Structure 1
Amino acid sequence: MDLLTANDRAGAYPDSWYAATSDIGPARPALATDVRADVCIVGAGYTGLSAAVHLAQAGRRVVVLEAQRVGFGASGRNGGQLGTGQRVEQPYLEKMVGPEDARRLWDMGLEATDLVRTLISTHKIDCFYRPGVAWTAETARDVADLHAYADHMSRIYDHPVEVLTRDAFHAICPSPAYRGGVIDPRSGHLHPLRFALGLARAAEAAGATIHEGSTVTGVSTGPVVTVATPGGQVTADHVILACNGYLGGLNAAVAARVMPINNFVAATAPLDDPDRVLARDIAVSDSRFVVNYFRLSHDKRLLFGGGESYGYRFPRDIAAKVRKPMTQIFPHLRDVPIDYAWGGTLAITMKRLPYLARVGPAVLNASGYSGHGVGTATHAGMLMARAIQGQSDGFDTMAAIPTAPFPGGARLRSPLLVLAMTWYSLRDRLGL
């Protein structure tokens, strides 16, 4: 299934609150001739745009090819949460790669959040960035686990996390579903599409060329690399694959290790009493495997992400799909109007850690951010830009993370997705 067109109209952003509150501008012209570049980047999401900014600032000739529009995919549809560290918790990484490499990955995660804030400040990107993300617990065991994790991060990583009892958390987020939580002050949240559009403007200001409506049909390697589209091709010394869930069949090695999945977000009408949802301007994620996540917008809407996906087609009534978990968390919002509801495609790996790799002569890939892409994808773009310039330490550290292929290959990908989501949804319902 071609996920570039399966759920969306060609050249059109989804009908999201993000698109409705962004200065999008006219479409950039598609590639219509053969051109030469130092670096060709496939995909104009956070990964590709960050790489374009850093490479163009270094004086490289950069051409970015985007099948749809800038920030069309997960970069313009996600929950807007900027988390510290990696997608998985540090004790897991310590067991997986050892304490020394786990600390290195933690430091790189902090570098990622700092990079996002630096790009916002340097390029004056108006994306409503605010600090603070809370993780919530729905069971006593989850509370104990979160508080133990906060203690571990403070002792081992000198990273203070605000620990909240049930009463203290309810003073911030008065949902009957939650029994406590923690708040990470170095995390944050932002308007994801406005951030992507700001990165695109920064890349173009530095000299990069972005072509929208330019679907890549093939990448061939040799002494130089050629990247083909229906309107022309780019010949380049280096290619960056920055496609995440929209890779399709461009590279079999990446497709075997990175699985697209869908998620859904809704924006309510502006709330009469937003403090009954959040009394502080933070974002929230809960402790479920099939995560619910939410925050208030700058115009006091609840932006709520959730709802299980059992295939690659979006449901007909996305609002109803999101309303179900939303009202489990906030029963008093049962009748609140939902003004916008949209779906998007992200991508996961087996271990929920990104897949960075050299996948061909002069071809680099970064994808599989597993819901942690605001910082990690932006950082991965910078790491690939540095690697192309001969500074590959950071890229090599991330590429050394073992990334196993999903079992079953492409033919069984969709049935496995259904099985996995059904199982993890059941675990969440049973509190396992």
Structure 2
Amino acid sequence: MASTGFNSGLDIGKSYYVATAAPAVVHPALQGEVEADLVVVGGGCTGLSAALHAAERGLKVVLLEGGRIGWGASGRNGGQMIPGLRKGAKGLVRSFGPERAKALFDLAFEARGLVLDIIERHAIDCDLRLTGHLVGAVSASDLRDLEEEAECLAKVMNFPHVEMLSAGQARGIVNSPYQGAMLEKLGGHMHPLNYTLGLARAAVAAGVTIHENSVATRLDREPSIRVSTAKGSVRARHAVLAGDALLKGLEPRVNSRIMPVGNYIIATEPLADAAEVIPGNVAVSDTRFVVNYFRLSADGRMLFGGGERYTPSPPADIAGFVRPHMENTFPQLRGRRIEHAWGGLVSVTTSRLPHVGHYGEVYFAHGYSGKGVILSTLSGKLLAEAITGDAARLDLFSTLSPLPFPGGTALRGPLYVLGMLWYAMRDRLKH
């Protein structure tokens, strides 16, 4: 099935984003049998983008969401707009060589322009701040790695929009003691739920029919594609599976290449000294393998995500779980009141590169491994392009297909936990 309840989001209803969301249209659950050119499973940015762009190309599109639109990873993430892929420029060159690496980087970078265009074209109010993204180095060796990454971006990717900062320069942008930092000037941040809801409004305006609280329980391919729910079904020529970590059972070949993991975020009370905490109002992440990531909200709260959690099972107290990581990064925030705490599942792959492609007329995209805020919108567009006859760009991305997790879905959890524990130990020894 695609998702259950309210998108399997842990306390998503208590999130800062839901508390400050724009009014949302309630879409009725699917009733009876309907026909379409394309059925999309999943109402996050991947599915909504695929639906929007397919409808703009003349297809009749029906989208099924198991819970509520935007209440999955698309509407509860850190809101950090970070151009590119989770694997950096150096890693892409090592894996694919300079020419193919640059083609992949250039395609991934298109996500930024696409999202900005959608926000402007459809007048989506989502607290957009194009202030940059800063990667803070927590050790001297990490700073050297960032310097090499910046050099590779400039020389191989012809991408000069990064700047290396000394410890003092970094402190002037983010008031935390990093060894130095890399400033990605074309990054930024936004309210991800309001963006996702805006994307849904754009899709409906283009002719897409959306059904919420319509869990996809079965996918049949013969004699034609049919996606069933508890109270209805959609027959279509094509299908898009866009449930990410919440997609279960519809296509085992898709599920075997992602690992659902939990991520958790807190929002403090509004900070009178917010401008002193992050003077540059940038989005920030650090160089730990288990990344801390944070930013200021439009009303001056610290939104902080992070912590080492290696299984989908949630902590009993999300606020208590995340608070130490925030206070270690910002001792000046010790004891500040936390007003929102939430979490949920996201998906990672063995390569940390997205899993995008198709099996016949069943298309899919997921596994963004922390870079899905804008990459998901691009992936949806690439799916729509392929479905309507131009598969060249999707084919480029589909060559990134990660290996299945060892042991399949039964053993991927225990083996993933062992791997993450090893990386966590390496982090502690290094830092």
TM normalised by structure 2 equals: 0.96
Task: Determine the C-alpha separation between the residues in 2 that align with 1:99 and 1:26.
Answer: 46
Task: Determine the C-alpha separation between the residues in 2 that align with 1:310 and 1:276.
Answer: 33
Structure 1 residues 95-104 or 306-315, which shifts more? 306-315
TM-superposed CA distance for 1:33, in Å, is 1.1
1:412 aligns with 2:411: yes
1:247 aligns with 2:247: yes
Q: CA RMSD in A?
A: 1.8
The answer on whether the counterparts of 1:40 and 1:64 sit within 8 Å (CA) in structure 2 is yes
Which whole-Å deviations, capped at 9, do the CAs of 1:265-310 have from their partners, x for residues lacking one?
Answer: 0000011211332001210010001000000001000000102223
Task: Determine the C-alpha separation between the residues in 2 that align with 1:187 and 1:272.
Answer: 25
User: What SS class does the counterpart of residue 172 from structure 1 fall into?
Assistant: coil
The 1:107–1:307 alpha-carbon spacing in structure 2 relative to 1, beyond 3 Å, is same
Task: Determine the C-alpha separation between the residues in 2 that align with 1:297 and 1:46.
Answer: 21
Task: Supply the AA of the counterpart residue of 1:135.
Answer: V
Task: Supply the AA of the counterpart residue of 1:403.
Answer: P
1:202 corresponds to which residue? Answer: 202
Task: Determine the C-alpha separation between the residues in 2 that align with 1:418 and 1:303.
Answer: 26
Which whole-Å deviations, capped at 9, do the CAs of 1:193-226 have from their partners, x for residues lacking one?
Answer: 0010000000000000000000000111025200
Task: Determine the C-alpha separation between the residues in 1 that align with 2:205 and 2:325.
Answer: 42
Task: Determine the C-alpha separation between the residues in 2 that align with 1:242 and 1:255.
Answer: 11
The answer on whether the counterparts of 2:9 and 2:72 sit within 8 Å (CA) in structure 1 is no
Q: How does 1:46-57 map to 2 (within 5 A)?
A: 46-57=45-56
The answer on whether the counterparts of 1:7 and 1:314 sit within 8 Å (CA) in structure 2 is no
Task: Supply the AA of the counterpart residue of 1:82.
Answer: M
2:211 corresponds to which residue? Answer: 211
Which whole-Å deviations, capped at 9, do the CAs of 1:65-92 have from their partners, x for residues lacking one?
Answer: 0000111110011111111121111121
Task: Determine the C-alpha separation between the residues in 1 that align with 2:6 and 2:61.
Answer: 29
Task: Supply the AA of the counterpart residue of 1:270.
Answer: P
Structure 2 unaligned spans of 5+: none
1:173 corresponds to which residue? Answer: 174
1:301 corresponds to which residue? Answer: 301
User: What SS class does the counterpart of residue 187 from structure 2 fall into?
Assistant: strand
Q: How does 1:155-170 map to 2 (within 5 A)?
A: 155-160=155-160, 161-170=162-171
TM-superposed CA distance for 1:26, in Å, is 4.8
The answer on whether the counterparts of 2:12 and 2:71 sit within 8 Å (CA) in structure 1 is yes
Q: How does 1:19-418 map to 2 (within 5 A)?
A: 19-131=18-130, 132-160=132-160, 161-176=162-177, 178-359=178-359, 361-418=360-417
User: What SS class does the counterpart of residue 156 from structure 2 fall into?
Assistant: helix
Task: Determine the C-alpha separation between the residues in 2 that align with 1:44 and 1:330.
Answer: 35
Task: Determine the C-alpha separation between the residues in 1 that align with 2:368 and 2:147.
Answer: 25
Structure 1 residues 101-110 or 410-419, which shifts more? 410-419
TM-superposed CA distance for 1:236, in Å, is 0.1
Task: Determine the C-alpha separation between the residues in 2 that align with 1:203 and 1:365.
Answer: 18
User: What SS class does the counterpart of residue 250 from structure 1 fall into?
Assistant: coil
Task: Determine the C-alpha separation between the residues in 1 that align with 2:81 and 2:292.
Answer: 15
Task: Determine the C-alpha separation between the residues in 1 that align with 2:218 and 2:292.
Answer: 37
Structure 1 unaligned spans of 5+: none
Task: Supply the AA of the counterpart residue of 1:146.
Answer: L
Task: Determine the C-alpha separation between the residues in 2 that align with 1:2 and 1:51.
Answer: 16
Which whole-Å deviations, capped at 9, do the CAs of 1:112-142 have from their partners, x for residues lacking one?
Answer: 1111111111111111111210111011111
User: What SS class does the counterpart of residue 34 from structure 1 fall into?
Assistant: strand
Task: Determine the C-alpha separation between the residues in 1 that align with 2:401 and 2:209.
Answer: 34
Which whole-Å deviations, capped at 9, do the CAs of 1:330-389 have from their partners, x for residues lacking one?
Answer: 112110000000012110110000001212x31011110000001211111000000011
The 1:14–1:416 alpha-carbon spacing in structure 2 relative to 1, beyond 3 Å, is farther
TM-superposed CA distance for 1:8, in Å, is 4.5
The answer on whether the counterparts of 1:43 and 1:241 sit within 8 Å (CA) in structure 2 is yes
Task: Determine the C-alpha separation between the residues in 2 that align with 1:305 and 1:286.
Answer: 11
TM-superposed CA distance for 1:108, in Å, is 0.5
Task: Supply the AA of the counterpart residue of 2:166.
Answer: T
Task: Determine the C-alpha separation between the residues in 1 that align with 2:320 and 2:12.
Answer: 21
The 1:340–1:421 alpha-carbon spacing in structure 2 relative to 1, beyond 3 Å, is same
TM-superposed CA distance for 1:182, in Å, is 1.2
Task: Determine the C-alpha separation between the residues in 1 that align with 2:369 and 2:279.
Answer: 29
The answer on whether the counterparts of 1:55 and 1:62 sit within 8 Å (CA) in structure 2 is yes
User: What SS class does the counterpart of residue 233 from structure 2 fall into?
Assistant: strand
TM-superposed CA distance for 1:100, in Å, is 1.3
Number of residue pairs matched by the alignment = 429
Following TM superposition, where does structure 1 have runs of at least 4 consecutive aligned residues deviating by more than 4 angstroms? 5-10
Task: Determine the C-alpha separation between the residues in 1 that align with 2:419 and 2:391.
Answer: 35
The percent identity for this pair of structures is 45
TM-superposed CA distance for 1:159, in Å, is 1.6
Task: Determine the C-alpha separation between the residues in 2 that align with 1:92 and 1:418.
Answer: 23
Task: Determine the C-alpha separation between the residues in 2 that align with 1:162 and 1:418.
Answer: 35
Task: Supply the AA of the counterpart residue of 1:59.
Answer: G
User: What SS class does the counterpart of residue 256 from structure 2 fall into?
Assistant: helix
Task: Determine the C-alpha separation between the residues in 1 that align with 2:28 and 2:102.
Answer: 44
User: What SS class does the counterpart of residue 154 from structure 2 fall into?
Assistant: helix
The 1:319–1:164 alpha-carbon spacing in structure 2 relative to 1, beyond 3 Å, is same
Task: Determine the C-alpha separation between the residues in 2 that align with 1:284 and 1:222.
Answer: 48
Task: Determine the C-alpha separation between the residues in 1 that align with 2:219 and 2:3.
Answer: 19
TM normalised by structure 1 equals: 0.96
